[in-house]
Chain A
């Protein structure tokens, strides 16, 4: 039997509507659930006081500080590498086997699961280089993970600067580096910053790669050196969540809600900034 095409079309349209609603409901449902359960406990007192009783009581101030240090470290390492790579690819070379190798490397790096980064960071930074479980080891590992994101977004941003600006700069007697530094980079800056912000969002949600490199020590004060071990918010939440102790659940929810909210804010601002930036040149 062959169904009439019109009927099939309408039936499929209904099915597509349904699966889309399922997808949206599932994703938004999870976010809404975490926020609803956790946000009421996210008070200034929770954010600005130190954890007590292994995190079951008190706040997350020291964890927030540890997260900040680890992520700022990662960004400080990955930004020069990533932006430098993008400048090389866009301004200093033509397409060749070298650029293909560089892009292939970045693509592969982007595809490596975070647990492998964790494993590598553990042997290489923690043990071989002797950095131990520390903010430094965590930053270095996250920097490697962020590199492909920063390279890719910076490349897009540099390419979106109109070619005419480069010509003008040359015609006014600038060297290539003066052209890059004074004309192209200022033009591409918003896009580059967006990429960095996206990388920050990814790093904040990362668990497997940091748990083996920055360790699980719950700092009882603001970490004071790169060599100190510290949890990130995601790791703190994971440990609270898997303790299976109902006592810790409300702090787990509160931590999760704060983490999700922070990541959403970061991603939304990066996303809108990127769109505004790209629209500027159209």
Chain B
């Protein structure tokens, strides 16, 4: 006992120490000025940035630049959250030029007209100085991000070819030559051509090679035309008639196949080339995308720059130092280094004219390709257009729409989504009557809550001291208070914030100037036909998942609940899916569902000779794939609960039943199930709630709802709506509806299960 006491004391000290440590970790400020740079540079260029900053620190000992890497979308969302909602964030932001429109509309980047003089600016390619609404907002240090044709010279030589295809017909012809089934098992071992063809960014070159354009001068989408139809038809033909591209191909499949020498040609962007140059299986060749001989037009890939933005929160000396840092990061020396090592196109003419750079064949091809490219629009509308192209195009690929229907659908969707992007503007100055209801309701709610708190909690605690057990009650309140306060604090603010935003018009253009508009966001939720589709999918998702979790979990528990040599190790192995982080296992599951060489199709084929299933490109199958993955993840929890429940069932019951001649099935039905029920019901309730809101698995397995935004449940849909098109008000209302559905369901479910037994 004494030992235990000292041990406990030691723990208390340790705990206190740790707490103090955690407080003191907030960074202490010294006379060195700290600047923050957030960027999305992939690993190779990150290393150069680090070197450059080291030099900068040596030259400027009074400056410390802290760098933070975030993946593209997380960078955009993270910067917005910091800059727009808290007025903070890094002084310097590095990202693609298509961030510009949104960031300016939100008012979270400042004009950069005062960073360089006119003469200095003359050295920059005008395409890298991003203007929006007549001011300069981004200064680029890299142009391109363009797609081009990468080819494996080794495979070309083996097939007797000596140059890259010059026309689309040649592309198809070469593709057919290079597509090979070495062992004649019906599965291609080498493909002529691969690329991430499910993503609309990669279809733009084909679309433009048929003369298509993205939008007109007034930012209106122009997507319903013959060019779209021909482009979509061409890609479907490449897959189904010419059979030169895999039946299923996302970015990672294309990348893996080409990088391991299993594909002759690849369409990919400048960001990825370095990897292939270094690959032992690839003899790197690069050329521009071949001309479309049907129209005589070159494919125009989207090109965009990357560069720096400055946060308007930077003022005074901080601003001056930030500008100085920016000038350094886009300087001749800095750009020369990137360009030399990564073969990227510099934004400075002086760098491009450097003899070493001029002699680089890859940069030469790049510049040639960019000359045939079209600049990616930097307006926020482009986001809406991508969101419209994706489902339409993927529906065509999946066969649920003809190319004609797809073209019409994407135009319609684009118009809708652009309207959604600016929905916050739709509310004028007049105040609708419902707003007063909101205010009135808010006041009533506050009074009701205070009244309840007083009469239900404070009063009984203070007043009824003559009642028996009040002392116990105070003791209990003390015990509960710390946990209650910490949970209350973390949940209450988000809850009311969300409620408030759900009654507002917060969106892209109204992120700082939002106001209460009443219930119209809720109206939008309930009139959106998607809501009902995704609702049904969510019910199916939850029902199927939990049903399998419970039945397989209980089944395994029953098998394990007996004397069994090796039981311990089997139990642990079965629990493992729970222990490994799901963000990686979900991705391996995605790989296992690959139609060509995923483990699942291979097993189905070898064991049961079932034809390969297109798991991830068919909406129904993709949904099934997500469900299978999640079932795998959820079984261990239910199994453990069931095992615990089974162990608490007295063995005498079974013995008595056996003596009475009850069969195993009867025992299961009459003893196991009824006694397991009270243990399982709370777990099931919780399982339902968790599964209903489980965004990760659907998102990761379907790569964000693919194909065609059809693999969504309610939460993943609202996540996309909120963060892709900045529909914060709408998303808040939608989230609140999801929350209320769960509350109502649980109340009903628990009532029905009659869980009234208490302590």
Partners in one complex: no
Which residues of A pack against B, CB within 8 Å? none
Which residues of B pack against A, CB within 8 Å? none
